[in-house]
Amino acid sequence: MSNGTDIKRERHEFLLAYYNMATMDLDRHLKSGWQSIAMIAGAVAAISLGEQGHLPLPIAVSIALIVFGWGMLHIIDANFWSVRAIAFLANVEAIYCTSEDKSVLNPYLGTHPRIKLMNSLRYQLYAFIFFSALTSLYYIAELIEILPDNRMLEWLIASDWLHIFMLGLPIFICFCLVYLILRADQKRVKDYLDFVKRCPGPGLVKTRADLGEARPADIDAGKKISPQQVQQETRADTTRRRKNRNIAVCVCTSVFILISLVLLGAVLAAAFLSPSDIGLN
């Protein structure tokens, strides 16, 4: 067992390391912001090439949507590791700090954070969603110009199947990315819930006098807040979020399957049917 002098020295070193880690965390988020800007710029460049005719418009829009989706997946993953790193720090805090220290250092000492987007990442996600929506609206406007006002079925059958496939490709990719993003978010919420349950920390000692020279694991249960109590709110919130993600994924899966079948049917109709097959001539 360490003596009191060792505990005080380790506590001081921990606080300095905590400060340095917070600084590195801020730097990492700033760099992530520049990466998002680069992704958006690349996607806009792809759309510009399509508008100028250097790329087929469906290909250009598909590339842009894939870049936006990739950015959103990156944000979800970065947020998970950032939140889990803070949860790990909370476990370390509980070793050296007490519940009394909440009023001095941090009101959330020893408590795992809720798994929600950090502000810096949230703003980046909003940007990706905004540009994705603009890209989708732009492509829908272009489709309205291409599609006939009437006799849609006749036009579909008379068209080349590859042309129909190309027109439907951005739509398929859009719904596919929505599905992948929701699945990734669902998995990360599940992973975080597993971490909170399996690594709740040592609990939080109530007073500095109770901590003394001992470690939290060596303190009597009556002198500390149990790990389950410390993480109770976070565990309940994460459980609720996981249920909501499961519902969203189920709904999105049904819509994605329906859209895929419609697009596949359109391509097959263009490939194998002729107007005479359905009595249009």
Residue 141 has pLDDT above 70, yes or no: yes
Q: Among residues 243, 40, 224, 216, which one has the least CA distance to residue 123? A: 40
When mean pLDDT is compared across 17-21, 79-83, 170-174, 276-280, the lowest value belongs to 276-280
Express each pLDDT in 61-80 by its tens digit: 999 999 999 999 999 988 89
Hey, where are the domains in the chain? 4-278
How sure is the predictor about 276, in pLDDT bands with cuts at 50, 70 and 90? low
Q: What is the mean pLDDT of the chain?
A: 82
The structure's pTM equals 0.83
How sure is the predictor about 130, in pLDDT bands with cuts at 50, 70 and 90? very high
How sure is the predictor about 126, in pLDDT bands with cuts at 50, 70 and 90? very high
How sure is the predictor about 43, in pLDDT bands with cuts at 50, 70 and 90? confident
Express each pLDDT in 182-226 by its tens digit: 999 999 999 999 999 998 988 887 777 766 655 665 666 667 788
Q: How far apart are CA 241 and CA 113, in angstroms?
A: 13
Name which residue leads in pLDDT, 261 or 278. Answer: 261
Q: How far apart are CA 46 and CA 138, in angstroms?
A: 13
When mean pLDDT is compared across 67-71, 89-93, 173-177, the lowest value belongs to 89-93
